[in-house]
């Protein structure tokens, strides 16, 4: 199936060109699944620090809670809370998008429409829970 005088193949798409295409919501969920995983990977030492400091002793537990109000070294408490909020979103999105994957595996829910509706659910649930937990974190209740 070769055409006479075929052009040379274009090779992989440039990122600048790829970004001009509208990504369907399922695509957004997918790339955010990857991004959220990467965020948690990079912040792993902070997560373990929280685990360590909160569990070691009553005194260190106070230091743990103080990090979110007074701050951590040069970082003000608000910044620490924002990082924690990013982690909350990352975990929630990654978990719900992951469950969506398993749902697709188990229920064979792979039509375009099913992909769209499960993507809507993923975005709605993860953002809603992030806002709920974020409000608690920032002292709304």
Partner 1 sequence: MSTNFGSKRIVTGAHYGLRDWLAQRITGALMALFTLVVLVQVLLPGPMGYDKWAGIFAAQWMKVLTFVVIVSLLVHVWVGVRDILMDYVKPVGTRLVLQVATLVWLVGCAGWALQVLWRL
Nearer of residues 34 and 78 to partner 1, judged by Cβ: 34
Element (H, E) at 71: strand 71-72
H-only helix segments in 2-141: 15-18, 25-42, 44-56, 58-67, 77-107, 112-137
**Which token pair is 122?**
């993923």
Toward partner 1, which CB reaches closer, 54 or 109?
54
Structure tokens at 23: 């990504």
CA distances for 14 relative to 2, 18, 22, 61, angstroms: 26, 6, 15, 49
Site for partner 1 in 60-119 (CB under 8 A): 61, 95, 98-99, 101-102, 105
18, 23, 31, 38: residue in contact with partner 1 (rule CB under 8 A): 38
The correct pick among 28, 54, 129, 131 for binding partner 1 (CB under 8 A) is 54
Please pick, from the candidates 3, 4, 5, 58, the single residue that binds partner 1 as defined by CB under 8 A.
58
Which residues are near partner 1 by CB under 8 A?
Answer: 34, 37-38, 40-41, 44-45, 48, 51-52, 54-58, 61, 95, 98-99, 101-102, 105
């Amino acid at each position: 199936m070769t055409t006479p005088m075929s052009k040379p193949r274009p090779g992989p798409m440039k990122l600048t060109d790829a970004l001009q295409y509208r990504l369907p919501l399922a695509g957004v969920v997918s790339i955010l699944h990857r991004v959220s995983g990467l965020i948690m990977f990079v912040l792993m030492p902070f997560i373990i620090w929280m685990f360590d400091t909160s569990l070691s002793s009553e005194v260190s537990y106070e230091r743990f809670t103080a990090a979110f109000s007074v701050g951590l070294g040069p970082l003000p408490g608000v910044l620490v809370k924002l990082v924690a909020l990013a982690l909350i979103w990352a975990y929630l999105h990654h978990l719900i998008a992951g469950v969506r994957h398993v749902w697709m595996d188990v229920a064979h829910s792979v039509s375009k429409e099913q992909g769209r509706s499960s993507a809507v659910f993923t975005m709605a649930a993860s953002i809603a829970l992030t806002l709920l937990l974020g409000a608690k974190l920032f002292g709304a209740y």
